[in-house]
């Protein structure tokens, strides 16, 4: 019996995206990006411990256009997941659970993650 | 009168039998990672643009090596727990779900081991 193509309810596409729902799914998306980023961290450590040639080759890869795009997405994901994660921990403690708290903390997360990403990349440039 | 048996209560087991261990582990590693991110930013500031010898010497210092191991292991564990939740929520075919989880667990163990050994190698200057 096929159980994997039954219609599911509620259908996501009938809902208008809201800050709270977009941030909720973004927390998962950035978490997946950071998990992939851990693979890059492991390869970075392996290259570093292998010697100067391997390390320079790896750094060259990171400095390529796809490498830089990945690093940019990774930086934003790191800050977003960090701040939104703190927001989730505050919720778990019972704080900010009203509508106002959820929206105010949500916008704070968005602004802080964008500002810190710009600050880091601006500082490098 | 509680219907839960005393042993289950002592072990903090909920009705699902396996209790809230996963939930707590995700939160505990999250709190640890908030603190470790402070070190991570210090690490990035110290290592961006550094040449190979400088980077190896930096990561080889006992404090940095210890924080690096703690960061890598906690991150990978937290990531594994988080990906598990995502897979459980969105993958509705049992076989795919289990296959993905096994692959993620293997990748986590192998990746974590490689990272820890690489850090220890630099810390001991082998």
* DSSP secondary structure letter of residue A20: H
Encoded tokens for B77: 């564990």
The residue in chain B having the minimum alpha-carbon distance to the alpha carbon of residue A28 is B86
Mean pLDDT within B53-80? 97
The rounded distance, in Å, linking the Cα atoms of A75 and A24 is: 19
Distance from CA of A70 to the nearest CA of B (A): 16
- Flag if A38 and B72 touch (Cβ within 8 Å): yes
| Cβ–Cβ under 8 Å, residues B72 and B115 | yes
**pLDDT tops 60 at residue B7:** yes
The rounded distance, in Å, linking the Cα atoms of A25 and B100 is: 20
Residue B2's Cα: distance from chain center in Å? 36
**pLDDT tops 80 at residue A8:** no
- Flag if A32 and B83 touch (Cβ within 8 Å): yes
pLDDT for residue A99? 95
Answer yes or no: pTM beyond 0.90.
no
Chain B residues touching A78 at Cβ < 8 A:
37
Task: Give the number of other CB atoms < 10 A from CB of residue B71.
Answer: 22
pLDDT tens sequence across B8-46: 777 766 666 666 889 999 999 999 999 999 999 999 999
pLDDT for residue A16? 86
Mean pLDDT within B71-78? 98
pLDDT for residue A5? 72
Encoded tokens for B94: 């049992």
Q: Measured between CB atoms, does A7 come within 8 Å of chain B?
A: no
Give SS3 for A7: coil
The rounded distance, in Å, linking the Cα atoms of A87 and B98 is: 31
- Flag if A38 and B75 touch (Cβ within 8 Å): yes
pLDDT for residue A41? 97
pLDDT for residue A3? 63
- Flag if A45 and B114 touch (Cβ within 8 Å): yes
Instruction: Specify the higher pLDDT residue, A124 or B103.
Output: B103
* DSSP secondary structure letter of residue A9: S
pLDDT for residue B110? 98
**pLDDT tops 90 at residue B78:** yes
**CB pairs below 8 Å between A and B: how many?**
75
pLDDT for residue A4? 65
Chain B residues touching A41 at Cβ < 8 A:
72, 75, 115
User: What confidence category does residue A6 fall into, taking pLDDT thresholds of 50, 70 and 90?
Assistant: confident
| Cβ–Cβ under 8 Å, residues A21 and A15 | yes
pLDDT tens sequence across A32-41: 999 999 999 9
**pLDDT tops 80 at residue A106:** yes
pLDDT tens sequence across A79-100: 999 999 999 999 999 999 999 9
Residue B2: enclosing H or E segment and its boundaries?
none
Distance from CA of A4 to the nearest CA of B (A): 6
Q: Measured between CB atoms, does A55 come within 8 Å of chain B?
A: yes
Q: What is the mean pLDDT of chain A?
A: 93
B22: left (phi over 0), alpha (psi -120 to 50) or beta: alpha
């Amino acid at each position: 019996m096929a159980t994997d193509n039954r219609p599911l309810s509620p259908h996501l596409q009938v809902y208008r995206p809201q800050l709270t729902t977009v941030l909720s799914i973004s927390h998962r998306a950035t978490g997946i990006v950071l998990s992939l980023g851990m693979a890059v961290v492991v390869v970075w450590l392996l290259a570093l411990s292998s010697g100067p040639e391997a390390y320079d080759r790896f750094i060259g890869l990171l400095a390529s256009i796809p490498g830089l795009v990945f690093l940019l997405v990774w930086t934003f994901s790191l800050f977003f997941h960090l701040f939104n994660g703190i927001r989730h921990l505050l919720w778990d403690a019972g704080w900010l659970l009203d509508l106002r708290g959820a929206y105010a903390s949500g916008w704070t997360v968005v602004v802080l993650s964008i500002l810190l990403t710009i600050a880091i990349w601006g500082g490098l440039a | 009168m509680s219907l839960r048996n005393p042993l289950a209560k002592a072990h903090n087991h909920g009705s699902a039998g396996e209790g809230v261990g996963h939930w707590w582990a995700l939160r505990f590693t999250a709190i640890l990672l908030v603190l470790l991110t402070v070190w991570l930013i210090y690490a990035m500031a110290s290592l961006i643009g550094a040449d190979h010898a400088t980077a190896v010497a930096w990561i080889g210092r006992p404090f940095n090596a210890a924080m690096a191991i703690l960061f890598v292991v906690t991150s990978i564990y937290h990531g594994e727990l988080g990906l598990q939740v995502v897979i459980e929520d969105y993958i509705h075919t049992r076989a795919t779900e289990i296959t993905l989880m096994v692959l993620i667990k293997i990748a986590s163990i192998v990746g974590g081991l490689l990272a820890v050994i690489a850090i220890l190698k630099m810390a001991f200057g082998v």
